[in-house]
């Protein structure tokens, strides 16, 4: 079977603080390393999605509602669900890498880099699916909360048509 967890692939986080959030794979490691003996991926994702904007809003209000909060984290493949989508958001590999977790200042810089790139892409209007909250895309009857476990999230996504 081919390898499909590649940089640029959009994934859903299934476990932890960012469960239910969308993220992009920045770097993947299929065979594991000495410190992490399992397949894992460095991902950059959206923690707080942009809010709804209407035509009647002013420029200041639109700018305020278009802000995004991002996160950068290393996840085991078991806690990521790949989607059919890929995005080509050019994150700077010198800024967003595994070394950022050793120093809080570098981690803030990496989050800032992801935030800026995500906001740029959002303002162009491309990859609209990536910037929408997952709950908004599902029916209200599905009763999905972002705090559900990975298996429940998977069941909801599979049953949703």
Residue 138 has pLDDT above 80, yes or no: no
Q: What is the pTM for the complete model shown? A: 0.80
State the chain's mean pLDDT as an integer: 86
Q: Name which residue leads in pLDDT, 143 or 160.
A: 160
Select from 2.30.30.770, 2.60.40.790, 3.90.420.10, 1.20.90.10 the CATH code of 9-159: 2.30.30.770
- Phi, psi for residue 79 in degrees, rounded to 5: -100, 15
Residue 119 makes CB contacts below 8 A (sequence gap 6+) with 66, 67, 68
Instruction: Say how far apart CA 106 and CA 103 lie, in whole Å.
Output: 5
The full set of domain ranges for the chain reads 9-159
* 100 HSE (CA, 13 A, CB side): 24
């Amino acid at each position: 079977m081919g390898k499909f967890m590649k940089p640029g692939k959009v994934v859903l986080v299934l476990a932890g603080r960012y469960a239910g959030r969308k993220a992009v794979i920045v770097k993947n490691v299929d065979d594991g390393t000495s410190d992490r003996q399992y397949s894992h991926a460095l991902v950059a994702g959206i923690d707080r999605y942009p809010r709804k904007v209407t035509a009647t809003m002013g420029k200041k209000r639109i700018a305020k509602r278009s802000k995004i909060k991002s996160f950068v984290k290393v996840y085991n493949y078991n806690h990521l669900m790949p989607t059919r989508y890929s995005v080509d958001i050019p994150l700077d590999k010198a800024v967003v890498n595994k070394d950022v977790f050793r120093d809080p200042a570098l981690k803030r810089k990496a989050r800032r880099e992801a935030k800026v790139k995500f906001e740029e892409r959002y303002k162009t209007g491309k990859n609209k699916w990536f910037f929408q909250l997952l709950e908004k895309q599902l029916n209200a009857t599905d009763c999905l909360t972002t705090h559900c476990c990975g298996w429940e999230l998977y069941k909801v996504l599979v049953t949703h048509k």
